[in-house]
């Protein structure tokens, strides 16, 4: 859908997906195909002092923030926001329309409303203690420290929970929007005037599609995990990525049968989709059902924006 809209409105796409930034996490993130030539160019750029962020082209549309980090490293929301802002500037410089696409709501919120992320250095002593706790206990601790952040975090992801606790312990809370109403959000001051569209499908249809997708690509993701393991990516790191990466890693470790891993992946993905829906209630999202609806909303938005340009 985003590619069709980008072609129609002369746009370029910025991926707002916390997993598509990582090289090698392709099948499990529904990443666009990347050519061998692009991989070679990026490997060369990575060795220079100024790594490339020129994006990758797919179906004639340039995409940014895809394959920009090693899965062994942590690519934070602060890094994503900084790089995404650079991409927005580059797209606007070419007189094109920036289209931010993805399901990581916190990334979209951070960019659209210019959230600040004070640098909080890793607290190794605290991390050592927290790593001994199960995800359930970590989530309970975060709820006490910062209930607002606990509302939209993946409560089964120990890595994110530990980092959120670390930040909350240092700052008193995790940075983010505290507003609850769409009216207040839409009036929030930021560098952009965003139109936020959401693609809505009935729950029954969405769940059927999730189940079908999980079953269809199970073999390919298992194969992808084996390839990542050959590149010395640990099972611990793979499990931290959640969803299918977690459950198929547990299958390869012998802790789940393949059937159990598939069923757990279906359940976890459905829960993740529900959390996304809950998160986006805090943003002024306009829900659309198809391309025609999206095109109409974008046309109206651009017409109004051009008629009432922002003050310099």
82-107, pLDDT tens digit by residue? 999 999 999 999 999 999 999 899 89
In a domain, 123, yes or no: yes
Q: At 145, which CATH number?
A: 1.10.20
Residue 312: both structure tokens together: 């310099």
In a domain, 227, yes or no: no
Q: Which of 287, 85, 114 is nearest to 185 (CA)?
A: 114
In a domain, 162, yes or no: yes
In a domain, 139, yes or no: yes
* Range 290-303 average pLDDT: 96
Asked whether residue 223 carries a pLDDT value surpassing 60, the answer given is: yes
* Range 255-263 average pLDDT: 98
pLDDT of residue 43: 61
Q: Which helix (H) or strand (E) holds 227?
A: helix 203-230
Q: Which of 288, 105, 88, 302 is nearest to 197 (CA)?
A: 288
Give the max Cα distance, the chain.
61
What per-residue string of b and e applies to 269-287 under the rule 16 or more CB within 10 Å gives b?
bbebbebeeebbebbbbee
What's the Rg (C-alpha) of the chain? 20
HSE (side-chain half, CA atoms, 13 Å) at 144 = 6
pLDDT of residue 158: 85
In a domain, 166, yes or no: yes
Residue 55: both structure tokens together: 């994006």
* Range 284-293 average pLDDT: 95
Residue 252: both structure tokens together: 């390869």
Other CB atoms within 10 A of residue 206 CB: 15
* Range 136-149 average pLDDT: 90
Asked whether residue 186 carries a pLDDT value surpassing 50, the answer given is: no
Single pTM value for the model: 0.82
Whether 68 contacts 24, CB under 8 Å = no
Whether 37 contacts 122, CB under 8 Å = no
Q: Among all chains, which residue has been given the structure tokens 């969405």?
A: 206
HSE (side-chain half, CA atoms, 13 Å) at 161 = 24
Best mean pLDDT range from 36-45, 67-76, 145-154, 159-168: 67-76
In a domain, 198, yes or no: no
Residue 270: both structure tokens together: 């459905």
**pLDDT-derived band at 155, boundaries 50, 70, 90:** confident
How many domains is the chain partitioned into structurally?
1
In a domain, 148, yes or no: yes
**pLDDT-derived band at 272, boundaries 50, 70, 90:** very high
CA distance 295 to 299: 6
Which range (83-87, 127-131, 146-150, 259-263) has the least confidence? 146-150
Asked whether residue 216 carries a pLDDT value surpassing 50, the answer given is: yes
Count helices and strands (H / E) in the chain. 14, 6
Which range (100-104, 207-211, 257-261) has the least confidence? 100-104
* Range 66-80 average pLDDT: 92
**pLDDT-derived band at 150, boundaries 50, 70, 90:** confident
pLDDT of residue 180: 40
Which range (63-67, 167-171, 173-177, 287-291) has the least confidence? 173-177
CA distance 154 to 275: 8
pLDDT of residue 306: 81
**pLDDT-derived band at 188, boundaries 50, 70, 90:** low
pLDDT of residue 187: 47
Which range (235-239, 274-278, 295-299) has the least confidence? 274-278
Give me the residues paired with residue 45 across strands.
Answer: none
Asked whether residue 270 carries a pLDDT value surpassing 90, the answer given is: yes
In a domain, 89, yes or no: no
Dump pLDDT digits (tens) for 15-31: 999 999 999 999 999 99
303: exposed, middle or buried (C-beta count within 10 Å: 0-12, 13-18, 19+)? exposed
138 is in which domain, residue-wise?
A: 118-174
């Amino acid at each position: 859908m985003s590619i069709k809209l980008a072609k129609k409105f002369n746009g370029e796409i910025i991926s707002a997906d916390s997993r598509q930034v990582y090289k090698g996490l392709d099948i499990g993130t529904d990443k666009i195909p990347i050519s061998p030539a692009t991989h070679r160019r990026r490997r060369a750029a990575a060795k220079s002092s100024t790594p490339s962020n020129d994006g990758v082209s797919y179906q004639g549309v340039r995409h940014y923030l895809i394959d920009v980090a090693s899965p062994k490293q942590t690519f934070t929301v602060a890094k994503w926001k900084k790089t995404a802002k650079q991409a927005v500037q580059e797209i606007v410089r070419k007189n094109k329309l920036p289209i931010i696409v993805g399901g990581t709501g916190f990334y979209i919120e951070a960019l659209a409303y210019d959230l600040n992320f004070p640098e909080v250095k890793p607290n190794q002593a605290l991390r050592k203690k927290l790593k001994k706790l199960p995800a359930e206990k970590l989530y309970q601790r975060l709820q006490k420290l910062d209930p607002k952040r606990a509302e939209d975090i993946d409560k089964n992801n120990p890595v994110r929970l530990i980092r959120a606790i670390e930040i909350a312990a240092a700052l008193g809370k995790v940075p983010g929007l505290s507003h609850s109403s769409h009216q207040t959000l839409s009036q929030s001051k930021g560098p952009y005037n965003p139109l936020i569209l959401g693609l809505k499908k009935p729950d029954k249809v969405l769940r059927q599609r999730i189940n079908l997708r999980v079953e269809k690509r199970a073999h390919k993701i298992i194969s992808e995990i084996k390839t990542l393991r050959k590149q010395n990516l640990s099972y611990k790191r793979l499990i931290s990525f959640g969803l299918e990466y977690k459950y198929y890693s547990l299958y390869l470790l012998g802790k789940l049968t393949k059937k159990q891993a598939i069923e757990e992946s279906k359940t976890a993905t459905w829960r993740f989709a529900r959390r996304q829906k809950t998160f986006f209630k805090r943003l002024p999202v306009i829900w659309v059902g198809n391309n025609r609806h999206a095109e109409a909303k974008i046309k109206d938005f651009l017409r109004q924006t051009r008629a009432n340009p922002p003050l310099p």
